[in-house]
Chain A
């Protein structure tokens, strides 16, 4: 093994990105409150959470736009608060809001941005990858919202990034465009790109990511493989039915069939309002976020009571 290989494999073992005890205060408000996670090289990680939960603050600290108040952060081995231009050359950033120089055509804009990077992708390949071949010579101002978003994504990947930040990338996409985008992301992943994604669409997170973290109220409330988020308990099927007197009931059970049979036998007829639900990622997510919101309300109530 020569030195380069050794350096490469050494780099591969280190996580692409990690934060430990990351904190961001705006005045006395903690927008990000003691968050710890890491993303392995080549992994796609989704950061989920409601608006105002601290997703964007976290991602903007990692992109180098904002300074953290406390904790550790490392992005491709560099502290993002002190990232230089050669560090930025290894990142791709798709921001949440699109600010576009509408006066340029798609091709002009991409060709210009390609010039900033040491080893950019081919402009026409990128245009094709985001499905804008027929709009390549159209000025960006004349594109639809979804098409502009695809230009944003194209600009994010033109520099052949090792790590790609995608902040709500598919907002405004129609279902077909979203499916196309997923294909694009899977291709990038296949090429070894590490991806940090935030999204409101849980199906998107489920489709694309290896692992996910759920942020609510500035805290990381859960983290894990996308099919394990919320824990095994959260995935136990729920049986809902109405008792003979009309009282609604629900029960979690690993043996819903047996339970239903027991209910039928007990009340002596078909129970009204019967359903058996296997919680979807969305149900689990809403439960996690809901619990966190209740918790923070309780905390606030305690604080009020204490004062």
Chain B
């Protein structure tokens, strides 16, 4: 059985397993959609968000959409895989797989593929809900969708690898959510998912700039917000070059840590 064939079979298996795990589906798949619905409904009477006084603005739903798309990348990758793999390490699933001729590469193709498939479905769902229920106008220029495509692919790959890397931290399956959720939650608050990034104090923006979520959100804003909103960014530009570089650095970091720390079982001395 070739690695690619087994890898493909793992993608199907992992995706099926994901959708049969209610916790994972709610907290990593549906969560951004639920948050979009809450924000869009709760703030619907507060008027539009504008880039400056007297300028034309966008609805709360339209403003929050890019941030929640970025949050979806983080949840589908980091939170999903970190909790999932730590759990599989804890319940002996990985130990069992380690005793079979399954290649670790095929195993990771399965994990990455599951993350990619579910993240695509999640983004499609977010866009559909935003457009259909909250009247958000989606971009029509092909160039915007090209940007969306690379930010999405780079973002989800980075996020998935960081999830694998983070899965080595919890000492047990039970502590996995306790380790992972606070990190993911704090990042979402300081990176412009729930709070408007331009309103955060500069020191907090600088801290957020160290981590990848801020860059995913910025890349998504470049796609979905009107050009006028560019002035609200830290440098006054979308800085897509910065987005690419920051995500690539974190991609390499995630890859190296995953490669070094992954074990089928906790190896004794």
A residues whose Cβ falls under 8 Å from a Cβ of B: 26-27, 63-67, 85-86, 88-89, 91, 93, 95, 97-101, 103-104, 108, 112-113, 115-118, 139, 155, 159
Contact = CB atoms under 8 A, between A and B. Distances in A.
Interface residues of B, number: 26
Please classify the interface of chain A as helix (H, G, I), strand (E, B), loop, or mixed, using the class held by over half of its residues: loop
Contacts of A113: 100
B101 A99 contact: no
A159 B17 contact: no
Contacts of B98: 65
Contact of B95 (A85, A89, A99, A104): A99
A95 B92 contact: yes
B95 A65 contact: yes
Nearest to A88: B101
B206 interface: no
Contacts of B101: 85-86, 88-89, 116-118, 159
A99 B99 contact: no
B76 to A, nearest CB: 18
Interface in B236-269: 264-265, 267-269
B103 interface: yes
Given A112-B9, A117-B1, A99 B91 contact: yes
Contacts, number: 74
Interface of B: 1, 5-6, 9, 13, 16-17, 20-21, 88, 91-93, 95-96, 98-103, 264-265, 267-269
Contacts of B17: 101, 103-104
A101 B93 contact: yes
A109 B269 CA distance: 33
B13 to A, nearest CB: 5
Given A63-B99, A85-B101, A115-B5, 8 more contacts: A65-B99, A88-B101, A93-B96, A99-B88, A99-B95, A104-B20, A115-B1, A115-B6
Contact of A100 (B6, B91, B269): B91
A118 B6 CA distance: 11
